[in-house]
Structure 1
Amino acid sequence: MFRARSSGPIGRPGCQTGRVETPWSVAPPDALGEALHHLRLAGTFYCRSELTAPWGLTVPPLPGHLWLHVVTAGGCRLETDGADPVQLRAGDVALVPHGAGHRLRSAPGTIAPSVMDLPQTFANDRYSLLRHGSGGEPTTLVCAAVQVDTPGARDLVELLPPLLHVGASPRTEWMQATLRLVATEAEELRPGGEAVLTRLADVLVIQVVRSWLETDPAARTGWLGALADPRIGRAITLIHREPARAWTVASLAAEIPMSRSAFAARFTALVGEPALAYVTRRRMHLALDRLRAGDAGVAEVAGALGYRSEAAFSRAFTRVIGTTPGAARRAGALTPR
C-alpha cells in the first residue's frame, strides 16, 4: 500500500579534501528553512471518511509514518498516547508524527474499532472511501499516511511532540486555502488528483510544523534550538549543503567565524554531539538512503560523499548504521517500491 521513494557529515581519514559538488549540495540559505525545505513526503495513502455519530475509529501503529487528519465538516475527538486528547472542528488539522496508534471518536467513550476491520471502497491502492457510523450528526475527515523521505526531514520529525494540532482561526487563514483544496480534491478524485493531494500533504505538513516552530517554546531547544542559533545554525547549513567537503572543526569554525575551541564547545552543547560526529552521521544517513534506492554501488556512494577509500567508508558506515553498506543495499533491493 505504501511505497517509499529514496533521496539522495566529514573530516575523517579516507575522505578527500576540498569542496566536492554532489547531488545534495543545494540548500536554502538558513538552517530552519533547510529543515522545512527537505520535509518531503512519500508513500502517501489517503482516506476520505464520511462518518455519522456515534462513531469511533482506531488507527493502528504504523512505524515510520506520519498521520495527517483534516476535518472538512463536523468535528471529533482525537486521542493518542503521550498527549492530551484534543477536540477537532471543521477547518482543524492534526498531525500524529511518529506512527503511533491513536483513536478518533465522535464523543468520549464511543466504541472505536480498527479502521483495518471496517469496509472501505478503494479507488486504487492509494485512495479509499470509508463510510461508518450510526446515522447521527455527520463528520467528514480526510486522512493521510505519509512517509518522510529525506534524512534531514527525519531528524526534524523525531523532535516533534506526539501530537500537533492547528485549530481554525483568523490567524490560520493562510492554511484554510490549502484545506479547501484538499476537501475539493478528496470529494472526487479527478485525473491527476493523487499527485495534487500528495503535493497538498507536503504543504499542510510543512504549515503545521512551521506553526509549531513559531508558537511552542519547546521547538527552540536541542537540535532545533541549534538550527535557530545564528552561528551553529549556519554551521549545520554548511554541513548539509556540502556533505562531501572534508570538514574539520577548524574549517567549520573559520566559516562562522568563531575560535576553534568556542565553536566546538557551543556545537556540542547545542546539538548534543561533537561537530565531526554530527557530520559523519549525516553522511552515513545520506549514504543509507542512496544505497537503499539501489541506483548506485557502494564505491560510487563512497566517492560521492568524499571518500577516497571504499574500505574507510565501509568502516564508518558500519559503525554509524550498524550494518555493512552491501547489506543495506541488498535490503533495499528487497523492499517493494
Structure 2
Amino acid sequence: MQTPWADAPPDPLGEALHHLRLSGTFYCRSELTAPWGLTIPPIPDHLWIHVVTAGGCRLETVGAAPVPLRAGDVVLLPHGEGHRLRSGPDTIAPSVMDLPHTMATDRYAVLHHGSGGEATTLICGAVRVDTPGARDLLDLLPPLLHVDASPRTEWIEATLRLVAAEARELRPGGEAVLTRLADVLVIQVVRSWLDTDPAARTGWLGALADPRIGRAIALIHRDPARAWTVASLAAQVPMSRSAFAARFTALVGEPVLAYLTRRRMHLALDRLRAGAGVAEVAGGLGYRSEAAFGRAFARVVGATPGAVRRGALTTRRP
C-alpha cells in the first residue's frame, strides 16, 4: 500500500535548483602577470562567477577579509556586488571596463594585463538573473560562495572547458549553449555550498531539506495550479493540519497559502513577460476568473497583469 506521499518528488532541493535558470551570460578569460589588479564593477540583477585556472590571487569585497584563491578555486558573488581581484594587497586595480579586451564573440572576451611576473589565469562570468525563481534562491545565498580546489571542482573545470570551446568555435546555437552552461556552473557551486556549509540549511533552504515541509514545497512547485489547501498538503506529507501549518510558517517564514500565491504570481510574471495572454495565464495557474487573478497579482507584484504584458510586448517589438 502506498503512503500519501509516495508520488511526491524525492529531492525537493534538487527540484528547486532545477528552476534556477539564468540568462545573459558574458565570459572573459583573463591572462594576468604580477603585479596586477582588477576592479570589477557592481551589476544589478547579475551575479559574478570567477574560476582560477592557473596561479593565484586575492579577492576583496567591502567589509570582509580578503579571500586567497588558488588554481581550481571557484567563487560566486550571487548579488553582483563590486569587488577587486589582484595579485597582492598593494597593487593598482583599474576598472576591468577600462582595460582593452579582444572579443572572441559578442559574449566572450580575452584580457591580457599585468607587468610580466608570475602568471595567473581566470575565467570570469557575468550572468543576468531575470526570473523570479532564480532571484528567490539567489537572494538567500551569502554575499560570496567560495569552493576550494578539490575533487568536487573537477566537474566545474570540465564545464568551463566546454564554455571556452563553445565560445571559440562560434557554432549555431552557441549563445543558448553558453547560457545553459552558466546554469550548470552556478548550480554546481550552489550545490557544493549546500553540501559543505551548515549555514546553508537554515531558512527557506533549510525548509527544503526538511523531509515533510520540503516535500510540500516540491509539490507546490510541481503542480502550482492545483487547488491546494493547508489540509490537502498536510495530508500529502503526512501531518496534522495544525502541526503542518505551524511548521511550514516557522521554517519558510510565511504561511503555506501565502507561499503558494507568491509562487503562482512569480510564474505568472514570467509567462506574461513571454507574451502569454492574461486569461491564459490565469487559467493555467488555477484561477477561475481574471479578476481574482488580477487582484492577487497586483498584491504580490505591485503592477497589473495587463501592464506587465503590455510592457513585455512593447519590449519585444523590433
Would you say same fold, with TM above 0.5? yes
**C-alpha distance after superposition, 1:140-187 (max 9, x if no partner):** 11111112354333221111111111111245444443344445556x
Instruction: Evaluate the alpha carbon distance shift between residue 335 and residue 101 of structure 1 in structure 2; reply closer, same or farther with a 3 A threshold.
Output: farther
In structure 1, the partner of 2:285 is 305
In structure 1, the partner of 2:210 is 229
1:162 equivalent in alignment to 2:143: yes
1:329 equivalent in alignment to 2:309: yes
In structure 1, distance between residues paired with 2:13 and 2:69: 28
In structure 1, distance between residues paired with 2:272 and 2:134: 18
Give the unaligned 5+ runs of structure 2: 1-7
**C-alpha distance after superposition, 1:5-62 (max 9, x if no partner):** xxxxxxxxxxxxxxxxxxxxxx953210111222222111111111121111111111
In structure 2, distance between residues paired with 1:175 and 1:129: 20
Q: CA RMSD in A?
A: 2.1
Select which of 265, 275, 287 maps to 2:268: 287
In structure 2, distance between residues paired with 1:123 and 1:134: 23
The alignment's TM-score, normalised by the length of structure 1, stands at: 0.85
Report the 3-state secondary structure (helix = DSSP H, G, I; strand = E; otherwise coil) of the residue aligned with 2:212. Answer: helix
Q: Which deviates the most, 194-203 or 87-96?
A: 194-203
In structure 1, distance between residues paired with 2:101 and 2:248: 50
Using the TM superposition, give the Cα deviation of residue 200 of structure 1 relative to its aligned residue in structure 2, in angstroms. 3.0
In structure 2, distance between residues paired with 1:195 and 1:289: 18
In structure 2, distance between residues paired with 1:333 and 1:132: 43
Using the TM superposition, give the Cα deviation of residue 202 of structure 1 relative to its aligned residue in structure 2, in angstroms. 2.2
**C-alpha distance after superposition, 1:265-323 (max 9, x if no partner):** 000000000000000011011111111122x1111111111111111111110011111
In structure 2, the partner of 1:274 is 255
In structure 2, distance between residues paired with 1:252 and 1:171: 36
Alignment of 1:126-165 (within 5 A): 126-148=107-129, 150-165=131-146
Q: Is the 8 A contact 1:291 1:301 kept in 2?
A: yes
In structure 1, distance between residues paired with 2:175 and 2:91: 32
Select which of 263, 272, 275 maps to 2:244: 263
Instruction: Evaluate the alpha carbon distance shift between residue 114 and residue 334 of structure 1 in structure 2; reply closer, same or farther with a 3 A threshold.
Output: farther
- 2:288 aligned partner, one-letter code: R
- 1:60 aligned partner, one-letter code: P
Give the unaligned 5+ runs of structure 1: 1-26
Instruction: Evaluate the alpha carbon distance shift between residue 48 and residue 96 of structure 1 in structure 2; reply closer, same or farther with a 3 A threshold.
Output: same
In structure 1, distance between residues paired with 2:279 and 2:175: 37
- 2:294 aligned partner, one-letter code: S
Using the TM superposition, give the Cα deviation of residue 114 of structure 1 relative to its aligned residue in structure 2, in angstroms. 1.3
Using the TM superposition, give the Cα deviation of residue 197 of structure 1 relative to its aligned residue in structure 2, in angstroms. 3.9
Using the TM superposition, give the Cα deviation of residue 135 of structure 1 relative to its aligned residue in structure 2, in angstroms. 2.0
The alignment's TM-score, normalised by the length of structure 2, stands at: 0.90
In structure 2, the partner of 1:76 is 57
Instruction: Evaluate the alpha carbon distance shift between residue 201 and residue 175 of structure 1 in structure 2; reply closer, same or farther with a 3 A threshold.
Output: same
In structure 1, the partner of 2:3 is none
In structure 1, distance between residues paired with 2:316 and 2:278: 21
Q: Is the 8 A contact 1:83 1:163 kept in 2?
A: no
Instruction: Evaluate the alpha carbon distance shift between residue 135 and residue 195 of structure 1 in structure 2; reply closer, same or farther with a 3 A threshold.
Output: farther
- 1:200 aligned partner, one-letter code: L
- 1:178 aligned partner, one-letter code: T
Alignment of 1:197-276 (within 5 A): 197-276=178-257
Which is bigger in relative contact order (C-alpha 8 A, separation at least 6)?
1
Using the TM superposition, give the Cα deviation of residue 74 of structure 1 relative to its aligned residue in structure 2, in angstroms. 1.4
Q: Is the 8 A contact 1:31 1:233 kept in 2?
A: yes
Q: Which deviates the most, 190-199 or 154-163?
A: 190-199
Q: Is the 8 A contact 2:133 2:266 kept in 1?
A: no
